[in-house]
Amino acid sequence: MTRPTPTSSVSQVHPLPAPRESRVLDTDVGAIIGALTLVVVGLWSRHGGVAALGNSAAKTYTSLAQLTGLLCSEAGLLGLILITRTPLVERRYGLDRMFNWHRLLGEAMAVFLGVHIAFSIAAWAIPTGTMNAVQSLTGREPYMALTTVGSVLVLLVTISSLKWFRNKLSYEMWYFVHLTAYFGLAASFSHQIVLGTDFADDALARGFWVAIHVALIVWVIWSRWGRFFIALTRPLRVSAVTHEAEGITSVVLSGTHLQKAKAQGGQFYLVRQLVKGRWWQSNPFSLSAQPTTAGLRFTVKSRGESSNAFTNIALGTRVVVEGPYGVCTPDEVNSEKVLLVGGGIGIGPVMSFLEQLTTQHEPIVLYRVSSEHEMSHVKELETLATARNGNVRTLVGPRATLKVADPFSADVLLKAVPDLAQRVVIVAGPESMVKAVQRGARAAGVPVENIHAERAWW
Amino acid sequence: MSQKPTLGRQIFPAVALTVVGVGFISLLDNPGGGVVALEGAIGTVVPSTVATNTTLAPSPVSPVEGSGVCDGDVVTGPTAVFKWGGLQLQATFTKKNVLCGVTVLNYPNEKDKSARINQSALPIYNREAVEIGNAQIAVVSGATDSWRAYTAGLQAILDAHPA
């Protein structure tokens, strides 16, 4: 998109344009995953994998070890593509879903890895005995020591990502454990090429396998780390800090780099302040106002230690933003009317979303907050909603003091919003509230595809 | 979403990628499940007439004998024909019909690479087979095809000569 060059020295403030829509289709993703699986299984079968099944025990185990090894690699490759956050995919599915799929693929990979190791040891144990097999496969065979380290790392990463375990780790701790997965994958590559009979004996298959790994490395370096380093060179600065309510602060980030940025209400950024001791932490913060060339506004609640640091941030602090991410944007709405539900700090994305709606959407905002002291932006919300032929309803108080058991049941929602079934529903807030609204809205007759929310991803 | 994608746009990537995938797979090396055929009869010779002519070009693979005394049958196996040529084994047994030695009579050596691979892998297969007394040996990386031929050939001998 070309922008007219400013003729005067006074730069005009205008909203940022929306990021381009992704042209990737579900069928494209299916085709790529399907074709990769076809090639992987075909490769195994062509190399005698199927023929070996049910032959002798050693051949059957070897064959199954090969198949699970290949599938393990495939899951790893696909999982890696997802965390490149490549806009092509992100703009279509959203970072939240990509991270959730990444988790599923990671779990699949761990299962394949376990089966692969079990069958490999079983196959080797037949001629040499279990102890010998374990010794061979953890060190005596070429590259197996390296591979053993790699698989231990992959298993560590998987364990650290299990919900139960992860809740005990800080995000940063978990993240840095997670980074070792890169090394884990790299370490296991050598044994695939040297020992894996599918690649050691077939130059074409080996060429293909090396090629897709090299392509992936380039993709990861560019899409994940390249973008990250570019973001580092283009920091924004804190230009305003406003205390909104108890523990709630709005921070505006500005900078010349915004002139070329694209973003929309409802999206979020990963935000990192370049301050000693904090530069390595990044937080997902939602835009709480329509992004403009004048600045990005985020409304932050001091909860964890790191977001606390944002509420006390000094003016002029350099802040690096990666993004924007998220597909819960006004693009999801055509001409339908809209219901926006914001819970607690979730009112931030609701506001930036609301700001981009028009009078035809007649937006109704439900603002759920557990205490009056935590209410923020009420005036702003009312101004925005009224200007768009809509209105704002608030529901204040701890859950136990409410008149109804479930404030988001279909009955209650329909009483508050009689034309609910004709509306597109946008929800932002704590996971439990999002689920309650989704349940209530569906029961009230809103089609699933008209209910939009960010999925919880950590 | 802006406009609905056409059916062609939805189907084309899947069709194209499937064609490319199938094409690629068909280009891959196909060991045909390993051994193409076992040719020639299995011959059992009495110990006294053990053939000494294990003349092999370019260099013979040293036979391996187990700890037991090989005073039983000497069995010449069929030639396992596979992608790179033929592999023929001769096995010796003890009086109690325990496998105690394997000699490679023929192996693919038309190409230098074949010869090199087999000269390094076959002695290992021989040693392992004698050690464990059957054909369930581990594969040496880079010599999978030979492993398939070797195990097929040895299994044929063992089947014809039950312990």
In chain B, what are the domain boundaries? Answer: 37-160
What token pair was written down for A114?
């376990």
Binning pLDDT at 50, 70 and 90, where does residue A335 land? confident
**With contact defined as beta carbons under 8 Å apart, do A365 and A350 qualify?**
yes
Least confident of A171-175, A437-441, B21-25, B57-61: B57-61
Return the percentage of chain A with pLDDT > 70, whole number.
Answer: 95
**DSSP assignments along B94-157, one per residue:** -TT--EEEEEEEE---SSHHHHHHHHHHHHHHHHHHHHHTSS-PPPPTT-HHHHHHHHHHHHHH
Is residue A395 helix, strand or coil? strand
Average pLDDT for A171-175:
81
Chain B residues in contact with chain A using a Cβ-Cβ cutoff of 8 Å: 1-2, 5, 9-11, 13-14, 16-18, 20-22, 24-25, 27-34, 128, 131-132, 135-139, 141-142, 144-145, 148, 151, 155
Is residue A220 helix, strand or coil? helix
> According to the model, what pLDDT value does residue A306 have?
59
Average pLDDT for A297-309:
75
Closest approach of B27 to chain A, Cα-based (Å) = 8
**Cβ–Cβ gap A48/B32 under 8 Å:** yes
The owner of tokens 């730069």 is A11
Sites in chain B below the pLDDT cut of 50: 1, 32-33, 48-58
Which residues of chain B does A201 touch, with a Cβ-Cβ cutoff of 8 Å?
29, 31, 142, 144-145
**Cβ–Cβ gap B28/A128 under 8 Å:** no
CA distances B56 to A387, B25, B49, B124, B147, Å, are: 96, 37, 19, 18, 19
The CB-side HSE value for A176 (13 A sphere, CA atoms) comes to 6
**With contact defined as beta carbons under 8 Å apart, do A236 and A252 qualify?**
no
pLDDT in tens, A110-165: 999 999 999 999 988 876 778 888 888 888 777 889 999 999 999 999 989 888 88
Least confident of A63-72, A378-387, B82-91: B82-91
Q: What is the DSSP letter of A145?
A: H
CB pairs under 8 A between A and B: 104
CA distances A317 to A97, A254, A280, A314, A382, Å, are: 32, 11, 15, 6, 32
Closest approach of A415 to chain B, Cα-based (Å) = 31
> According to the model, what pLDDT value does residue B30 have?
66
**With contact defined as beta carbons under 8 Å apart, do A194 and A142 qualify?**
yes
Binning pLDDT at 50, 70 and 90, where does residue A363 land? very high
Chain A residues in contact with chain B using a Cβ-Cβ cutoff of 8 Å: 21, 25, 27-28, 30-32, 34-35, 38-39, 42-43, 46-48, 51-52, 56-59, 62, 123-124, 126-128, 141-142, 194-195, 197, 200-205, 208
pLDDT in tens, B20-65: 999 998 888 765 445 667 777 777 665 544 443 343 444 556 666 6
The owner of tokens 């070897």 is A62
* Residue B109 CA from chain centroid, whole number: 14
pLDDT in tens, A220-230: 998 888 988 99
pLDDT in tens, A230-279: 989 999 999 999 988 888 899 999 999 898 899 999 999 999 988 887 78
**Cβ–Cβ gap A31/B30 under 8 Å:** no
**Cβ–Cβ gap B28/A46 under 8 Å:** yes
> According to the model, what pLDDT value does residue A5 have?
47
Mean pLDDT of chain A: 88
> According to the model, what pLDDT value does residue B54 have?
40
> According to the model, what pLDDT value does residue A424 have?
94
* Residue A205 CA from chain centroid, whole number: 33
What token pair was written down for A40?
């992987």
**Cβ–Cβ gap B28/A43 under 8 Å:** yes
**With contact defined as beta carbons under 8 Å apart, do A406 and A436 qualify?**
yes
**Cβ–Cβ gap A47/B31 under 8 Å:** yes
Which of A27, A57, A127 lies closest to B14 in CB terms? A27
- pLDDT of A9 over the 50 cut: no
Better-predicted residue by pLDDT, A128 or A42: A42
> According to the model, what pLDDT value does residue A308 have?
60
